[in-house]
Amino acid sequence: MAQRLALQRLLSLPTRGLLAPHGRALGTSAGRRSTFNVQDGSDFQDRVVKSPKPVVVDFHAQWCGPCKILGPRLEKLVAKLEGKVLMAKVDIDDHTDLAIEYEVSAVPTVLAMKNGDVVDKFVGIKDEDQLEAFLKKLIGA
């Protein structure tokens, strides 16, 4: 009975934004909308390959320590660009087919895509200055 009351109280609390599948809150700012999780191959085609904007594709895994450092760092820099570039997150364990198609042999692997083509790529963790240079090159700034 006490557990039920605690659950009811928890469910009645106001939420701030929506909860993502992995429990992280999703805000509604323009920067947050620039980053999305790829749902399947069709979603990747529609939102990445056919995107009119440049897209940074972050191939990562839940068990990857460096991915947990790089992902938020990259998301923050993409958000600063206010919609000039999008960021697609691809979990290699959920989307092995995409990892194979794009020759991802280690994580994190980050691709820069324009007009459906891979124009740049890096593997491993980078500091913020290196990431900024990577993004500026992608958007032509």
Which residues are annotated as catalytic? 64, 67
45 CB contacts (<8 Å, ≥6 apart)?
Answer: none
136 CB contacts (<8 Å, ≥6 apart)?
Answer: none
Q: What is the DSSP letter of 20?
A: P
Give the tokens for residue 75: 């998301």
Three-state SS annotation for 86-130: EEEEEECCCCHHHHHHCCCCCCCEEEEEECCEEEEEEECCCCHHH
